[in-house]
Amino acid sequence: MNIDERIVILDAIPFEVDEADALTALHMAPDAPFADEALALLHEAIPVARPKGVYRLSAVETVDEHTIALDGVRFTSRILRVNLDGLSRAFPFIATCGAELEEWSRSKTDVMQQFWADGIKELALRCAITALGSHLTGRYQPGTRATMNPGSLPDWPLSEQPRLFSLFGDAVERTGVRLSESFLMIPVKSVSGVWFETESGFVNCQLCPRADCPNRRTPYDPHALTDYA
């Protein structure tokens, strides 16, 4: 398989997680009634899990006020265009918990185990994201990074996913991630996006009004949109 030298694939990321951190992620105290069962499931998952990821060094080109091109592939998003304004490079990426862990989770029929398995897959995804970010930092020293993800804001819809995936060519097959007809990623515990250098500390959440999001990292700021008008 011929892979572009600008593309980095990490397909042997170890799934390493501290038990205390795992329980926190599963919203359980160490002395919770079912903590031992949850940790037993975690240890069952660890040898199965194969988190994976891929990223690419891409040249940035501004096309117009609402369009940016990464290595010639055009994306329509005013917010993405503004965030990449003045940059010469960006780093599209895909990270996943791995198809192996997804298949393992489907074998769980107990409702509580299914809930824990979902959280364990989230932990594996975090391992993939961390490994990709660490590799990128070591190779390119980008300084402070921010992220935009297709579908996280109306300005950059999920329908742009195939264009993002096209940047990786055959390398996507090594991650085991595929797109559904509605552009959702399979395995579900996968994430795609663009990392870029920033001094403003941009976070998608500051532009998203959804009140019940479990993954919110910063409060919604209705005034922040004026920066992208």
Question: For the segment 174-188, what is each residue's pLDDT rounded down to a tens digit?
Answer: 999 999 999 999 999
3-state secondary structure of 219: coil
DSSP string spanning 133-159?
Answer: HHHHHHHH---SEEEE-TTSBTTB-GG
Q: Which residue has the higher pLDDT, 226 or 119?
A: 119
How many CB atoms lie under 10 A from the CB of residue 146?
17
3-state secondary structure of 93: strand
Average pLDDT in the chain: 92
Tokens of 35: 């903590």
Residue located via tokens 């609402």? 66
CB 57 within 8 A of CB 142: no
Strand 185-186 relative to strand 73-76: parallel, antiparallel, unpaired? unpaired
CATH topology assigned to domain 7-200: NADH Oxidase (3.40.109)
Q: With cut-offs at 50, 70 and 90, classify the pLDDT of residue 221.
A: confident
- Going from the C-alpha of 133 to that of each of 40, 105, 156, 159, 208, the distances in angstroms are 29, 26, 22, 25, 24
The residues spanned by each domain of the chain are 7-200
Q: Write the pLDDT tens digit of every residue in 3-25.
A: 688 999 999 999 999 999 999 99
Q: Write the pLDDT tens digit of every residue in 159-168.
A: 999 999 999 9
- Bridge partners, residue 196, by sequence: 146
Q: Write the pLDDT tens digit of every residue in 76-123.
A: 999 999 999 999 999 999 999 999 999 999 999 999 999 999 999 999
Percent pLDDT > 70 in the chain is 93
Q: Is it true that the peptide bond before 222 is cis, omega within 30 degrees of 0?
A: no
